[in-house]
Amino acid sequence: MKISFGTITITKESRKLISGILRAGRVSQGRYVRELEERFAALVGVKEAVAVSTGTDADILALAVLYDFGAKRQDEVIVPALSFVATGNAVLHAGFKPVFVDVKKDTLNINPHKIEEAITKKTRAIMPVHLMGKPAEMDTINAIARKYKLYVIEDAAEAHGALYKGRKVGSLSDMGAFSLYVAHIITTIEGGIITTDNIKFAEVLRSLRSHGRACKCRVCVLNTKSSYCPRRFKFGKKTDIRFIFERIGFSSKMNELEAAIGLGNMSIYKKILDKRRANLYYLMDKFDRFYPEIFTFKKEVYEEIGPHAFPVILGKKCAFSRNELADYLSKKGIDSRQLFSSMPTQCLGFKFLGYKKGQFPQAEYLGDHGLHIGVHQDMGRKECDYFLKTVESFLTKKN
């Protein structure tokens, strides 16, 4: 049996939309991007969603918004030490300094009780990550942010469909940054999207994704209809609003073809979510028998995990390495991925920040002893049972 890490569903609706877009020749950002934004905002339960080219750009632009609200370059943003490297990269690309905080091994997420000791006069924001779709402890994080007057931006890249105390991830803070990468529940192949209830934040985001232009309208008549724009010369007869650049911006727009893929996914979102969640919870329920040699995270009564993937963590006393397990799974046709790394101490790109190995023991342990497999919609009970039997066979051989 072959079990891939991820999959993509391209619906008949998407194929039809793509054909129409190609016939019309209007492939850059337009009506379908806006429709995706509207539907995604409604799904998360927020007022605004702004589509961009990648999930990493979603992180970067959400952070860059803060310059319009008092932040300065080289101010600090608190992030968990364990995440996909895009989280740390985004802070640097946005012009801030990442300040790392260790995680909790049983949740994979930032340890909220270590956040306050990392706060300085230069701290401007906290960026918790809902890793593997498990919600971070947002009540505590938001309380700390209010105490110190900090912004909170959720890195919800992997957390489509996650719920925290009855509220949807992406609506729990100032902004939420989602990835729409090919392996995620809603995908546009390479896109990203930022959610917020703050209308002013959304306006700045629309400017930032297009080089910092003064254009910030929710619907651009020039992009969508090639129609008359009454705001075009609002800055004077010799100026064009499209060439007034109010801030340092980025080139991060989503195109219509990508939006068409996403709209098709939106139409079958619940079906995909339910299938993935059934796979995830089934594996979680059956995995207890492997403890303490290997284990996974737990579901709290007040949450629903966004079913992105299934993490596997080696216990301290197991007699084998993560790579041995990954290699065995691979030989049996099961694709897996490393459970990321401690960015400040296990990723060479962050070496210049001066952190030393041992400063983030939980993140480092997970970086050395964790992996994850897919729970995607092309899997079912048969594939889940095959994975469980393969793990059982591996452990039998090692004991």
Kindly state whether residue 259 falls inside one of the protein's structural domains.
Answer: yes
pLDDT at 221: 61
Tally of domains within the chain: 2
Give the pLDDT of residue 216.
78
Distance CA 252, CA 366 (A): 32
Tokens coding 33: 């991007």
Indicate whether 222 pLDDT > 70: no
Are 63 and 256 spatial neighbours (Cβ–Cβ below 8 Å)?
Answer: no
221 and 277 inside one domain: no
Q: Cis peptide leading into 292, omega within 30 of 0?
A: yes
Dmax over CA atoms of the chain, in Å, equals 80
- C-alpha neighbours within 13 Å on the C-beta side of residue 63: 33
pLDDT tens across 169-218, in order? 999 999 999 999 999 999 999 999 999 999 999 999 999 999 998 877 77
* pLDDT grade for 223, boundaries at 50, 70 and 90: low
Q: Does one domain contain both 206 and 279?
A: no
Domain end call among 267, 296, 330: 267
Residue 1 domain-assigned (yes or no): no
Among candidate residues 288, 366, 387, the one with its CA nearest the CA of residue 131: 366
Considering the domain architecture, whether residues 231 and 319 belong to the same structural domain is answered as: no
Sign for the CA dihedral angle at 88, 92, 93, 94 comes to positive
Structural domain containing residue 385 = 269-398
Within its chain, how far is the Cα of 154 from the centroid? 8
Among residues of the chain, what percentage have pLDDT more than 90? 90
pLDDT at 226 over 90: no
Alpha carbons 305 and 281: distance in angstroms, whole number:
9
Is position 2 within any domain?
Answer: no
In this structure, the answer to whether residues 263 and 301 fall within a common structural domain is no
What CATH number does residue 202 fall under? Answer: 3.40.640.10
Query: Looking at the domain assignment, is residue 4 inside a domain?
Result: no
- Mean pLDDT, range 156-174, rounded to an integer: 98
Phi–psi pair at 26, nearest 5 degrees: -100, 85
Please list the alpha-helical segments (H only) found in the chain.
12-24, 31-44, 55-64, 86-93, 138-148, 199-208, 221-224, 256-267, 269-286, 322-331, 343-346, 361-369, 381-398
Mean pLDDT throughout 314-323?
A: 94
Same domain, 63 and 104: yes
Domain assignment of residue 147, yes or no: yes
| Residues 85, 225: Cα–Cα separation, whole Å | 39
**How far apart (Å, rounded) are the C-alpha atoms in residues 314 and 257?**
42
| 62 and 93 share one domain | yes
The CATH number for 351's domain is 3.90.1150.10
- Tell whether 329 is covered by a domain: yes
What is the pLDDT at residue 86? 98
- Whether 7 maps to a domain, the answer reads no
Q: Assign residue 208 a region (left: φ > 0; alpha: ψ between -120 and 50; beta: otherwise).
A: alpha
Q: Quick check: helix, strand or coil at residue 334? A: strand
User: Where is the domain boundary, 252, 267, 282?
Assistant: 267
Model pLDDT for residues 299-317, shown as the tens digit of each residue:
999 999 999 999 999 999 9
Using only C-alpha atoms, what is the Rg of the chain?
22
pLDDT of residue 215: 76
* 68 shares a domain with 29: yes
Sign of CA dihedral 317, 323, 324, 327: positive
pLDDT attached to residue 393 = 97
- pLDDT tens track for 370-398: 999 999 999 999 999 999 999 999 999 98
CA angle 166, 268, 53 (to 5 degrees): 85
Residue 115 shares a structural domain with residue 226: yes
Sheet with 76-80, edge to edge strand ranges: 48-52, 190-196, 175-181, 151-155, 123-126, 76-80, 97-101
| 189 and 326 assigned to the same domain | no
For residue 41, give both structure tokens: 């905002």
Q: Are residues 298 and 334 in the same domain?
A: yes
Tell me if 5 is assigned to some domain.
no
Residue 62 has which token pair?
């959400």
| Amino acid code (one letter) for 185 | I
On whether both 48 and 153 belong to a single domain, the answer is: yes
* Residue that finishes a domain, picked among 236, 267, 298: 267
pLDDT tens for 230-259 read: 777 777 767 887 788 899 999 999 999 999
Question: Do 263 and 273 sit in the same domain of this protein?
Answer: no
